[in-house]
Structure 1
Amino acid sequence: MDHLLTYTLTVFTGFFAIMNPIANTPIFLGLVEGENSKTKKKIAKKATVIAFLIVAVFVIVGKYIFELFGITVPAFKITGGILIFFVGFEMLMSRKSKVHNTQDPDDGEAIAVSPLAIPILAGPGTIVTAMNNVTDANFIHIGIVIAVFAVMALLTYWAFTLSDLILEKLGNSLISVIGKIMGLIIAIIGTGMIVEGIKLSFNL
């Protein structure tokens, strides 16, 4: 039971750091600028549901994807670790990650799919984090990862729907500090994945 609790907290920490609903709030506000409250909620709901479905599919069929393309677990952990470290490093350096491409869309609600759901919420970093937690997992662990991501999607939905209030109360400066802390955590998670991948590669 203690093992499952520790595993759940680890998964939650990883998802929270990489998704960071609070730090993504200004991005959401920038994308939905000019929309009314009802449309904002609709976009937030659509984006979080799509993101959840994408990650859930990767979590469930991830092992089959590995087998299909001949991907080894050590190679995945090392490559995924480098990717996650890069995202965290960019956040620490106050750079807008290239993964979070927020170009202006032509259609209002189209932003719910791209760039909100993909790649801001269910980007490479999120998918890598999810799959890293189920590479050697059983059905219980897979269920935990999906459940934790569902909670994260719900928290993100709430953050987006309350985005105006959050930005007003916290301010851009505090949100920036939170983003840097999350960036450090993401970089550490990425480093840990690389070390784990190297250990597996050389049977250390």
Structure 2
Amino acid sequence: MIENYFAFATTVFMGLLAIVNPISAIPVFLELTDYMGDKQKRNVAAKSVLVAFCIILVFSIAGKLIFHVFGITLAALRVTGGILVFVIGYEMVRGKPESIGKSVKLGDEPVKADAGISMAITPLAMPLLAGPGAITTSMSYSAAKDVTHLLIVIAIYAIICFITYLLFLAGPRIVKVIGTNVMLVITKMMGLILAVIGVQMFALGIRELFEF
């Protein structure tokens, strides 16, 4: 029995890790929080993984019920997520103007105490860390099993969220090691990949919506 649980946990971990791919979210996080101080970056990182975990938790437990009550289809979720991911990737490739993302400050302190919560929710938590793929996978692993398997899925995603949080905080150190120019290239490459993923998600959602 324990071996079966361990095998299931390993499968869930590898599957969710591949879909979430926290390493690919590092350039996005660094790009969005470039103007922030260390404290704000930690705040955004913590909120993004917490929101992502709550999303997966809710959908793992009551995903099918939520979709049924609100008349939401997974195809519609894929279309919306695809559009959001494409826009994010496009902005990363194009490069943002200096004025974008600047917070209004009073002296050395931001006027808005909770600056960054919006980007922590979208795009970091949703759809990057808890997108349609992660939601679908977690629902699939949870639905056909008992409560123990459900708890394993939730625990595994919590571990992935913690790993993502550590990677976000280590982002600036990674930049120092590989250099700003290399990170700029990686950021633009990841932007292109995100844009392509967004188009693929959108196309798959459209295909599922109209069944062709």
Residue in structure 2 matched with residue 157 of structure 1 by the alignment: 165
Partners of 1:81 and 1:193 within 8 A in 2: yes
The match for 2:20 among 10, 15, 23 is 15
The match for 2:135 among 115, 125, 131 is 131
**Residues 1:181 and 2:192 are matched in the alignment:** no
- Which has the greater radius of gyration? 2
Residue 117 of structure 1: how far off its partner (Å): 3.5
Residue 70 of structure 1: how far off its partner (Å): 0.8
Q: Map residues 36-185 of structure 1 onto 2, 5 A cutoff.
A: 43=43, 46-47=46-47, 50-60=50-60, 61-95=62-96, 103=103, 105-106=110-111, 110=114, 114-115=117-118, 117-119=120-122, 121-129=124-132, 130-134=134-138, 137-139=140-142, 146=154, 149-185=157-193
> Amino acid of the residue matched to residue 122 of structure 1?
A
Identity among equivalent pairs (%): 28
**Structure 2 unmatched ranges of 5 or more:** 1-8, 105-109
The whole-number CA distance in structure 2 between the counterparts of 1:72 and 1:180 is 32
Partners of 1:18 and 1:186 within 8 A in 2: no
The whole-number CA distance in structure 2 between the counterparts of 1:45 and 1:191 is 26
Residue 67 of structure 1: how far off its partner (Å): 1.5
> Amino acid of the residue matched to residue 21 of structure 1?
I
The whole-number CA distance in structure 2 between the counterparts of 1:17 and 1:181 is 15
| 3-state SS of paired residue (2:179) | helix
CA gap of 1:58–1:26, structure 2 versus 1, over 3 A, is: same
Residue 122 of structure 1: how far off its partner (Å): 1.2
CA gap of 1:24–1:194, structure 2 versus 1, over 3 A, is: closer
| 3-state SS of paired residue (1:165) | helix
**Residues 1:203 and 2:211 are matched in the alignment:** yes
Partners of 1:32 and 1:40 within 8 A in 2: yes
TM-score by length of 1: 0.65
| 3-state SS of paired residue (1:162) | helix
Partners of 2:25 and 2:124 within 8 A in 1: no
The whole-number CA distance in structure 1 between the counterparts of 2:12 and 2:204 is 16
**Structure 1 unmatched ranges of 5 or more:** none
Aligned residues: 193
Residue in structure 2 matched with residue 24 of structure 1 by the alignment: 29
Partners of 1:44 and 1:160 within 8 A in 2: no
